[in-house]
Structure 1
Amino acid sequence: MAHFNGINLKEWFSIEKVTRPLAPPIEHKTVTVPGRDGSYDNGVRLGERMISLDVWITAKSKDERQQKIRAVMGVLFTREPKPLFFDDEPDVFYNAKLSGSTDVDELLRFGKTTLTFVCSDPFKYDTQETKVNLNDGSTTVHYDGTYETKPRFKITFNQPVTHFEIKNHLNERILLGRPAAMTDTEIQREELVFQDNMGSVSSWVVPDYVDNGHIAGEMASDGSKFYAERYGHVVQPEAWQGPSLKRSIGVSLQDFRMDALVTLNNVGFETGMVEIYLLDANNQTVAKIGVEDIWKQVARVQGKFQLGRLNNRHQMYAHPVYSAGWNNYRGMLRIERVGNVYRPYWAKIEPDGRHVWQLSTMRYVDHNNQYDSRITQVQVGIRVWPLHKPLDQSVDQIKVFRINQPQTTTQIPYIAQAGDVIEIDTATHSIRKNGEVFLINDLSSEFFSLLRGENVLNITPGVAQVEMIYERRWL
């Protein structure tokens, strides 16, 4: 009859009564003016929707009842809203949380209570998304929900572009980048100059140096990633040890961005670290970034960033907001340098490509130009502490980009290349490019809604496949 947070409540309770209002509370907003009769109409506001279920739980004893309540409360209590739906409306759901007004003591003593769910978001939503492909130029979409909804857009580009616009029939628009005039020149700000998908170690050689430890063992590839096939015999004095390889990137770069995809599955294991070094032509470390779990009997991953070698280095450590947030890290390590400013970046990557638990606020300004050597090589290292169970860790991909800064106002950078995917969520006002937060929207952009009835959407320019996704909202 009722389902919440993935469970059928009927499996736990007998449900005697459901109180479910037909619509959320409608609050009329007015403004009164002294000396004037009546008031000014200032619109309406929809309040929270409350849903209650009168339930009782059967048990042969108080102890059995307590065990059942303990188990079910672990599912009913949530910090974030979860789907709540009913068998008589299987095609819609509510976003709900169990309210603090639910009398759990009554349930424990008498086996019955009223479960009260609060829907801060007062609408009902379709359980199935609606997807519409938007054609080049103009597309008319009929929306038949009883309340306007916020669409999402997935834009897959088939050629480079400096700007992109989605506009509705009310002239509300989302604008990314800016168009190039006939007198302007388009430039590629981030130019891919090196990519290794870690399919073979044949182009890599063993370096002569790693920080804080020893090179030992052997690196191997399974065709899709580098991993430590052996970590080697214990080297004295004991320190972090494991295999390391390096190779040329084929160019010499001043302004650059290096993106590495790495894996560090640490939960249930002991120690380990994955590091990416950027070297100059003299094999000196210019910069290094990594992730590591270095603690005894604690599963916790931290990030590290270093400029220079040990005898002349600047080092920074990074931690997610939640201490376990980077556990079982599968994600991005990035170093960017433009001029004398370094910016490291860490983020886990979800299966759908979204970057989460990202940390991108750190930066270092190299005022004295101590770490300004041009990079020519990349080095990878995978290490453990001797005689400890190693992590499941690997280097999965490395890309290096040359950053081309516009030199004049008539040079307009491309915002996307062929194959790039930009996703726009008008509900959260978020824009992501290839899963990563993307801050390129024009300040005049409006994250518009789909209105009841006919909506005419215009796409400019016609250089992409555009899919619009939405759930109908109901009062």
Structure 2
Amino acid sequence: MIKFAGINIPSYVRVNAIKYSVLPSIDSKTEKVYGRYGEYDFGTEVGTSTIKLDIQIVGIDDHDVIKKARDLAQWLYYEDLQPLILDDEPDKQYMARLVGDTDIEETFRIGSGTLEFLVPSGVAEALTDTTFSTSPSTTDPFTVTNNGGIDAYPIVDLTMKKDSTSIALVSEDKYVLLGQTGDVERTSVAVDPIVLSDTFSTYSGYATASNVDGGVVTGSFASTGARLTQSGNDFGEGTTWKGASAIKSLSRSINDFEVTTLVGFDSDKAEQIGRIECYLLDSNNTQLGKIAIKDVASEGEYPMVEARAGNYAGGKYFVQSYGDKKGVFAGFVGMLRISRKGKRWSAYFAKVDAKGNHTTRLYKEWYDSTSQFTGSLSKVQIHIGAFNDRTPVKTMYLEDLKVRELTSDSVDSSTQIPIIFKTGDVVTIDNEKAIVLKNGEPVFYYLDPSSDFISLKKGDNGLIISPAVADVSIRFRERWL
């Protein structure tokens, strides 16, 4: 049975023939040099492949074929690549998309035509990942075996067992290096220390706030043991914004900072309204800035994100956005972050999936050229809000709150190396997509320019993790021409 996008081909479709190439298209790369015979050979380049199905649609009467053809179109059409599995090799799949014309020639109750699928990679791959784990204690190579027919591109997760200034994945001919390698003439120094961390396993150490932007403080917070919510979902009385709000002091005041909070924000009805906000305060409770997610649209689930330097009355909003389009932040479970380093403000918003990867993302910077918004960060204020008598967003919670002092600019590069990876961090080197992540967040600024993403050749491959300070988990799809 042929399967596409995880669904069997409809029972009314008869496949009469499958046409495919033994190999994908292969281009020879040569270059003519004036004054010399022939051309220089630069090898070959493997292109795409196609799979064609000659089909018949069997109707129950003369008028049924066009109805079934319309139904078949629903099975066939996807904008993104989908797995195509053929009867002959049920253990392999082709990541494919329907292309070309899909003309059907109808005779009585039989419709005949050809379906053409494009396979951009040109190869077949295993249905599931091959996985490998190890915990090296030395920089001796360990072996990873690729039983496929051609190179595979591994995704490597490195869970740090110790703090380190760098981490590198090394193969026989390539390497990927993040950070700076050790140097006996320079000292490793910790950077960006945490000055506040709260996982909200309990609700303690907070003072009730007296005001919130454009509203009143009502109700209280409660901890579920893992997150902070509006107690009893009771937002009390108020004709504008209303809800719980509380303030917590940092261990010390800081000038360059990064404030990150993990939140959940999800409606189950279009008319639900709500917001989650985090205010930055100085020692006098004056607002230095704010980061927030809110939904004020009654016609749909359209959360928007905000970041502001300064206070409610006269601040500068440098982010007020729905993202790429309205609705992309719907069902938000993820990260809100705001930072200031010198005069440069930045904000980062990202959905975070179950594996910790950052998916839908938005990043903005703004430079305070007139030094309008200064002052030291001394406290943070959190708030969950509903509006007037409108039904509140069903799910609103805070799950984690961290404040870091940004100190990397104070590192003397001639005598010091910053420790950028901490125990427990997960560093991901995705050699398939050529991206690097730290705790699910892209970190290309750590990538050494001489790095070259690796592949696993057919057979045994020796790999090294240097320094040997991480548990290693590798996954890849075996592939065949």
Contact 2:249 2:378 in 1 (8 A): yes
* Alignment match, 1:427: 432
Q: Larger deviation: 204-213 or 428-437?
A: 204-213
* Alignment match, 1:416: 421
Q: Offset at 1:145?
A: 2.6
Alignment of 1:73-472 (within 5 A): 73-103=73-103, 110-133=110-133, 135=136, 136=138, 137-170=140-173, 172-228=174-230, 229-235=232-238, 238-269=239-270, 270-316=272-318, 317-360=320-363, 362-391=364-393, 392-405=395-408, 406-409=410-413, 410-439=415-444, 440-472=446-478
Whole-Å Cα distance in 1 between the matches of residues 331 and 104 of structure 2? 36
Q: Offset at 1:379?
A: 1.1
* Cα gap change, 1:458 to 1:407, in 2 (>3 Å): closer
Q: Offset at 1:72?
A: 3.4
Q: Secondary structure of 2:345's partner?
A: strand
* Cα gap change, 1:68 to 1:453, in 2 (>3 Å): same
Whole-Å Cα distance in 1 between the matches of residues 329 and 433 of structure 2? 24
1:331-382 CA deviation, whole Å, 9 max, x = no partner? Answer: 100011212211111101111111111112x112223333222112111111
Q: Larger deviation: 439-448 or 373-382?
A: 373-382
Contact 2:257 2:403 in 1 (8 A): yes
Q: Give the counterpart letter for 2:248 in structure 1.
A: R
Q: Offset at 1:442?
A: 0.4
Whole-Å Cα distance in 2 between the matches of residues 365 and 225 of structure 1? 34
* Alignment match, 1:18: 18
Q: Offset at 1:124?
A: 0.8
Whole-Å Cα distance in 2 between the matches of residues 34 and 169 of structure 1? 37
Q: Aligned-residue CA RMSD in angstroms?
A: 2.2
TM-score normalized with structure 1 length: 0.93
1:279-313 CA deviation, whole Å, 9 max, x = no partner? Answer: 11101111110011111212211111112222321
Q: Offset at 1:231?
A: 4.6
Q: Secondary structure of 1:88's partner?
A: coil
Contact 2:57 2:111 in 1 (8 A): yes
Q: Secondary structure of 2:387's partner?
A: coil
Whole-Å Cα distance in 2 between the matches of residues 265 and 272 of structure 1? 10
1:112-158 CA deviation, whole Å, 9 max, x = no partner? Answer: 32111011110111122222335432123343432222222111110
Q: Secondary structure of 1:190's partner?
A: coil
Q: Secondary structure of 1:70's partner?
A: helix
Q: Larger deviation: 21-30 or 461-470?
A: 21-30
1:413-438 CA deviation, whole Å, 9 max, x = no partner? Answer: 11211111101111221001111101
* Cα gap change, 1:18 to 1:307, in 2 (>3 Å): same
* Cα gap change, 1:278 to 1:22, in 2 (>3 Å): same
* Cα gap change, 1:288 to 1:455, in 2 (>3 Å): same
Q: Give the counterpart letter for 1:94 in structure 2.
A: Y
Q: Offset at 1:87?
A: 2.9
Q: Give the counterpart letter for 1:218 in structure 2.
A: S
Whole-Å Cα distance in 2 between the matches of residues 47 and 256 of structure 1? 48
Whole-Å Cα distance in 1 between the matches of residues 106 and 22 of structure 2? 28
Contact 1:12 1:72 in 2 (8 A): no
Q: Larger deviation: 132-141 or 422-431?
A: 132-141
1:202-243 CA deviation, whole Å, 9 max, x = no partner? Answer: 4322211111122223332222222223454442xx322222
* Alignment match, 1:28: 28
* Cα gap change, 1:300 to 1:112, in 2 (>3 Å): same
Q: Larger deviation: 421-430 or 446-455?
A: 446-455
Whole-Å Cα distance in 2 between the matches of residues 390 and 70 of structure 1? 41
* Cα gap change, 1:10 to 1:109, in 2 (>3 Å): closer
Contact 1:56 1:107 in 2 (8 A): no
Q: Secondary structure of 2:193's partner?
A: strand
Q: Offset at 1:107?
A: 10
Q: Larger deviation: 41-50 or 251-260?
A: 41-50
* Alignment match, 1:54: 54
Whole-Å Cα distance in 1 between the matches of residues 196 and 150 of structure 2? 50
Identity %: 29
Contact 1:200 1:221 in 2 (8 A): yes
Contact 2:201 2:225 in 1 (8 A): yes
Whole-Å Cα distance in 2 between the matches of residues 106 and 403 of structure 1? 69
Please list every run of 5 or more consecutive structure 1 residues that lacks an aligned counterpart in the other structure.
Answer: none
Q: Give the counterpart letter for 2:376 in structure 1.
A: R
Whole-Å Cα distance in 2 between the matches of residues 233 and 373 of structure 1? 34
Q: Secondary structure of 2:73's partner?
A: helix
Whole-Å Cα distance in 1 between the matches of residues 474 and 226 of structure 2? 33
* Cα gap change, 1:352 to 1:368, in 2 (>3 Å): same
Whole-Å Cα distance in 1 between the matches of residues 11 and 191 of structure 2? 58
Q: Offset at 1:190?
A: 2.1
Whole-Å Cα distance in 1 between the matches of residues 314 and 72 of structure 2? 57
1:251-294 CA deviation, whole Å, 9 max, x = no partner? Answer: 21212211100111035242111101111110111111001111
* Alignment match, 1:6: 6
* Alignment match, 2:480: 474
